[in-house]
Structure 1
Amino acid sequence: MTAEQAARARTHGQITAERYDSWTEEQCREVEIVAGSVAARPRASKRHNRLARLLANALEAAAGPEWNADTDFDVRLQDVPLTNRRPDVVVYRADTIDVTPTRPEHVLLVAEVVSPGSETTDRIVKTNQYAAAGIAFYWRVEQAATGLPLVHTYVLDPATRTYREAGLFTGTMETTAPFPVEIDLSRV
């Protein structure tokens, strides 16, 4: 199957977990699946990628041996209809490193770096989806006009499956949840 044929096939009909799992990593990297439909992912800027890597590296260093932090891989929020998101940063249980797909019960924290074109999705849609899936912590990173990122942190209320605000950071981020971490946001 050529790349063009694969692209056409991805855009027609409901995408099932079985169908999605047959795609190559390259094909999956370009999209997210929302309620069985393909949603294109805009190409990230170098600043966006650097910020995601900075967060992932700091979280990995602070997490201890029970947790890993990484960028750019799928989290399967539900099987039917298929909803696969690809958060910018994921903190997940270290003992699930070889488990595919990564599921919400493997994940402690997800972070999204807001880019032009992803504002509504990252601020509202993904927030609600991650909370409904039971992911304990959500960080949303805004790339402010001042140059320093703003990190909005949220913690899950398990009774309502909604997030409540936990803090807003710029400059140096120091938090104790989900574990103690200090991040110099000016390094972007």
Structure 2
Amino acid sequence: MTVAVFDHEGPWTEEEYLALGETSQRVELFDGSLHVTPAPTPRHQRISRKLGNILETAAESIGLELLEAVNVRLRPGRVPVPDLVITAPVNLDAPFIEASDVLLVCEIISPSNAATDNVLKMHYYAAAGIEWYLLVEQTTGALRLHRRRGRHYVEQQSVKRGETLRLESPVRASIRPEDLIP
């Protein structure tokens, strides 16, 4: 991938982005530019797996999908890779999931990438019409659930250790920070 990325001139198209294939880094496309981050830490992946286990049971019980680290097409040329998404039934072999099929998107905030999740992606996900946005603070396990209002998100719940986030939509689930982080 390195040669292909550094030899590329001009803005990236979706076709060029998808032609990169799978990589050990997380590569996202934002309006013609690539955003590349290193592979997640073991802590990040542990949180993702534990949260995914909770949400997957709830999603499957009502015919929805829980997917991890998939391309989500917010609009042409804007393809992030969220940590977790809950979707309506989708084509599992498609190169990306359309934003219109995403009911909830979740990002696990890495200390080195907090601004992207808290500002850029929050704006992009809301503008694309994704109803729910769940943020997990990697260092503390604190959870913040946002619901879309117009083209922005409004915080619905915020919980820390000793408290429980009660998700009612798009799935029913109870999530405690201590279940995600020891």
The TM-score normalised by the length of structure 2 is 0.88
Residue equivalent to 1:124: 119
In structure 2, distance between residues paired with 1:95 and 1:30: 22
Counterpart selection for 1:39 from 35, 38, 46? 35
In structure 1, distance between residues paired with 2:46 and 2:16: 32
Contact persistence 2:87–2:101 (CA under 8 A): yes
Q: CA RMSD in A?
A: 1.8
Residue equivalent to 2:51: 55
Contact persistence 2:159–2:165 (CA under 8 A): yes
Contact persistence 2:26–2:81 (CA under 8 A): no
User: After the TM superposition, which residues 31-180 of structure 1 pair with which residues of structure 2 at under 5 Å, given as runs?
Assistant: 31-63=27-59, 64-79=61-76, 82-144=77-139, 148-157=140-149, 160-171=150-161, 172-180=164-172
In structure 2, distance between residues paired with 1:39 and 1:30: 8
Aligned to 1:54, the other structure's residue is in SS state helix
1:33, CA displacement in angstroms? Answer: 1.0
**1:27-84 residue CA offsets vs partner (Å, 9 max, x unmatched):** 7x531111110111233211111111111111110112421112111111111xx111
Residue equivalent to 1:13: 10
Moved over 3 A (4+): none
In structure 1, distance between residues paired with 2:86 and 2:41: 22
Contact persistence 1:75–1:104 (CA under 8 A): yes
The TM-score normalised by the length of structure 1 is 0.85
How many equivalent pairs are there?
177
Contact persistence 1:143–1:149 (CA under 8 A): yes
Aligned to 2:112, the other structure's residue is in SS state coil
Identity %: 31
Decide whether aligned partners of structure 1 residues 185 and 61 sit closer, same or farther in structure 2, where only a CA change above 3 A counts: same
Contact persistence 1:66–1:95 (CA under 8 A): no
In structure 1, distance between residues paired with 2:171 and 2:66: 13
In structure 1, distance between residues paired with 2:123 and 2:5: 29
Contact persistence 1:65–1:94 (CA under 8 A): no
